[in-house]
Copies of this chain bind each other. A is one copy, B any other.
Amino acid sequence: MDEAKIRRLLKRIEKGSLSAEEALQNLKNLTYENISRARIDHHRAIRTDIPEVIFAGKKKTSDIVDIAHAMMKQSGKFLITRATEEIFRELGIKKASFHPDSGIISFGTPKKKYGQALVLSAGTSDIPVAEEAALTASFLGSETKCLYDVGVAGLHRLLAHKKTLDSARVVVVVAGMEGALPSLVGGLINKPLIAVPTSVGYGSSFGGITALFAMLNSCVPGIAVMNIDNGFGAGCLAHRINMMGKAK
């Protein structure tokens, strides 16, 4: 902790062993080095409840394993996204759970969960991204619920769950292809709605671009849009919104 460093400096002025003018020069540098560093890290630890998360992506398995073990030791929990079965095997942590569809490995989910984040998927192919969102929010401490395959082509499937929609505090809508579901849901609820386009589709779906732009242009005002396939980001935002007004 670098407050110590500043404290020593100030103590020396107090004692008279350093003039105010000399201290001034020192403090200017400290400002950008240690104080800031400490403060911001400290804030992250205390306020966000969001531990560092490992994006497996192109990282080497051995690196991932090392980081995960370090996190487990330090904080008793970790989350790995875009992971593979191989990574899970190499981890060798029996109590961790691996979700093959979404590629999530999690360890140390909080016992008590709060509020309710509802995750909808338009089609069955969108489920991996929806699951990434749900597992992330859950890992961070949100109660989550999922409704899959309630896309716009079969309207009644969604309308049948009106009550579930009404009881959520925040709703994540995951959809590929034409990305129409968020607009439909947004017209039915008055909760914050997070839309996640997926790369599901072919031809002019452009790997999710079409769904992304459809969501950004929704006729329903105030929809929060995420990057393509970014279930993790949706889970983080859903958790933050879900926790508002909750005593943690």
Taking the nearest CB of chain B, how far is it from the CB of A95, in angstroms? 25
Task: Indicate if the CB atoms of A191 and B240 lie closer than 8 Å.
Answer: yes
Task: Indicate if the CB atoms of A177 and B245 lie closer than 8 Å.
Answer: no
Q: Does A174 contact B (CB under 8 A)?
A: no
Contacts of A221 in B (CB 8 A): 53, 232-233, 236
Contacts of A14 in B (CB 8 A): 13, 16, 19-20
Q: How far is the CA of A24 from the CA of B6 in the complex (A)?
A: 7
Task: Indicate if the CB atoms of A216 and B222 lie closer than 8 Å.
Answer: no
Which bucket holds chain A's interface residue count? 35 or more
- Which one of A69-77, A84-92, A198-206 is at the B interface? A198-206
A46 nearest CB neighbor, chain B only: B190
Q: Mark A1-22, 1 if CB is under 8 A from B, else 0.
A: 0010011001101101001110
Task: Indicate if the CB atoms of A180 and B10 lie closer than 8 Å.
Answer: no
- For the complex, would chain A's binding face be called helix, strand, loop or mixed by DSSP majority? helix
A81 nearest CB neighbor, chain B only: B221
Task: Indicate if the CB atoms of B7 and A21 lie closer than 8 Å.
Answer: yes
Known A-B contacts A20-B13, A180-B183, A244-B169; A216 and B224 likewise in contact (beta carbons under 8 Å): no
Taking the nearest CB of chain B, how far is it from the CB of A6, in angstroms? 6
The 5 A-B residue pairs with the shortest CB-CB distance in the complex, in nearest-first order: A245-B245, A203-B228, A10-B20, A224-B224, A222-B236
On A, residues with C-beta under 8 Å from B are 3, 6-7, 10-11, 13-14, 16, 19-21, 23-24, 27-29, 31-41, 43-44, 47-48, 50, 53, 57-59, 122-125, 151-157, 159-163, 169, 177-180, 183-184, 186-188, 190-192, 194, 197, 199, 201-230, 232-237, 239-241, 244-246
Show 24 residue pairs from A and B whose CB-CB distance is below 8 angstroms, ordered by the A residue: A10-B23, A14-B19, A32-B160, A37-B157, A39-B156, A43-B190, A50-B190, A153-B186, A178-B179, A180-B219, A192-B244, A203-B228, A203-B229, A204-B216, A204-B228, A210-B213, A216-B226, A216-B227, A217-B227, A222-B233, A222-B239, A225-B225, A225-B226, A241-B244
